[in-house]
Amino acid sequence: MSCPPSSSESQRVRDIFERDAPKYDRQISFFEKVLFGGGREWVCSRAEGEVLEIAAGTGRNLSFYPPSVRLTMTEFTPAMLEIALQRQAELGREAELREGDAQQLDFPDESFDTVVCTLGLCTIPDDRAAVREVRRVLRPGGRFLLLEHVRSPRGVIRAVQHALDPLAVRFEGDHIAREPLEHLRAEDFEVERVERSKLGIVERVVARRPASAQTADTTRSRPSRLAR
């Protein structure tokens, strides 16, 4: 699948993850223990029906989905996808794994009941475009399930994140000071649940595409559930 028109940064990020793919599982396993413990299980256990996972990486979520879901996973980086395919074979998990760009999904409108993204929006150059694409491929009433590291609401920590962000983006392709909730609300998602932890830098989110345009209008001002 070709990159979208503004893809020089996309290609740069792809090159970074091609380079880092062999060591990704080792590196992320440390951060999962320290920051994200139970997050993948929390997200994947809520998936239902026809499920799409974007920015699937090395397929670390494969073992956490309910057996009943029909799973499609996309990953932008061939080397990461190759590891995911190996993991799928080892687990014997039925799923369709394919190369794809979350900024420009190769699926028809309203194709999925659930879309999942874990620790992926932080590495997508145009994360607003990815959220917009998720909304497009979700069926009315479908849910977007997220695990992400985000901009902290605490001033000192947020300042440190902003100071480190240019280095993280340059060398790792990783934005450490983003806030996905802003894009979710801008794209008319109904944010049903937010769980924030680790001094506010980790979020678990359940958001829903409204069942109708009327629902979108009435739910835009509805307060989300925020657990700290």
HSE of 26, CA atoms in CB hemisphere, 13 A: 4
Confidence of residue 51 (pLDDT cuts 50, 70, 90): very high
What pLDDT shows up at residue 227?
39
pTM for the model stands at 0.89
Q: What is the pLDDT of residues 180-221, one digit of tens each?
A: 999 999 999 999 999 999 999 999 999 999 997 544 443 343
66 closest CA partner among 39, 85, 47: 47
CATH says 8-227 is which class?
alpha beta
CA angle, corner 47, sides to 74 and 93, nearest 5? 60
Least confident of 46-50, 167-171, 181-185, 221-225: 221-225
Sole residue written with tokens 């380079």: 19
Collect all residues with Cβ–Cβ distance below 8 Å to 219 and sequence separation of at least 6.
190, 210
What pLDDT band is residue 7 in, cutting at 50, 70 and 90? confident
Mean pLDDT (the chain) is 91
